[in-house]
Amino acid sequence: MTAHDETLDCKGLQCPMPVIKTKLKMDTMEAGKVLRMITSDPGSCKDIPAWAERVGHTLISTENTDEGFVFLLQRGD
Amino acid sequence: MVEEKPKKKMALIASQGTLDWAYPPFILASTAAAMDMEVKIFFTFYGLPLLKKKLKAKVTPTGNPAMPMKMPFGPKFFQNINWPIPAAVSGNMPGFDTVATSLMKKTFKKKGVATIEELRDMCVLLGVDLIACQMTMDVFGFEKEEFIDGVNLGGAAAFLDFAADADIQLFI
């Protein structure tokens, strides 16, 4: 598992809650810190990259695992 | 250091107060706010009750022929049945809308869709400006005290002034 500072479980949630919960979580983190977010929502595969680019966070990786879709996001400035 | 970009703006008009039509404005507004956009929703006509402290939004299959009529319980084959209920039946049976509303809420909850109340709370938390149409309030007899805290009042010019400089404008 890649290194990360915080985790967020959004499994079972539908659009737009994974994006909104991720935003609220990232707001509490310092710049440069990495969040591991997991979700069961396939729509997040499009939504999370779009959101991250818009607000200036870096999407390090996206992975489709047995647990769900896993995103590693690094907080921008 | 990233250069500060001017905030994108979104202006919405929410004109419908049924459970199904309550979703798009609150989903888009909360998401846009999460994307660092400045958002205002102007609630007018039947959209106005969406600002009330106690939400009673319902859905009606009558007049919505494309609405799937499916059960949120039972075996998969049963859940997949789209019940062919004629409008003449659904429109005349007392309590049908209440049942349809309850079934839709159950389906949404089961599928992990947030409630309107939750999405509205998110909008407030993320700083979405909720504006009640003053004229509709006067016409239908709404008082500001009936609405959730933080609702602002406004008219057509106030909305258009914001919408004129907005990047996204939608009438819902």
Query: What ipTM does this complex have?
Result: 0.89
CATH superfamily of B7-172: DsrEFH-like (3.40.1260.10)
Of the candidates B67, B68, B43, B70, the residue with the CA atom closest to the CA atom of residue B142: B43
Which band of pLDDT confidence, cut at 50, 70 and 90, is reported for residue B2? low
Q: Which of residues 91-120 of B touch A (CB under 8 A)?
A: 111-114, 119
Contact flag B31-A54 (C-beta cutoff 8 Å): no
Domain ranges of chain A: 6-74
Residues of A noted as catalytic? 15
User: What percent of chain B is modeled with pLDDT above 90?
Assistant: 67
Q: Which residues contact A45 (CB under 8 A, 6 or more apart)?
A: A62, A69
Domain ranges of chain B: 7-172
Contact flag B1-A77 (C-beta cutoff 8 Å): yes
Terminal alpha carbon distance of chain B? 38
| Strand, coil or helix: A45 | helix
Please give the pLDDT value at position A1: 57
B76-133 per-position pLDDT tens digit: 898 888 888 888 788 888 888 898 899 999 999 998 999 999 999 999 999 999 999 9
* Mean pLDDT computed over B147-158: 93
Q: For residues B32 and B2, is the Cβ–Cβ distance under 8 A?
A: no
Sequential pLDDT tens for chain A (77 residues): 578 999 999 999 999 999 999 999 999 999 999 999 999 999 999 999 999 999 999 999 999 999 999 999 999 98
Distance in angstroms (rounded) separating the CA atoms of residues B85 and B103: 15
Q: Specify the CATH architecture of the domain A6-74.
A: 2-Layer Sandwich (3.30)
B52-71 per-position pLDDT tens digit: 999 999 988 888 888 888 88
Residues of A in contact with B1 (CB under 8 A): 77
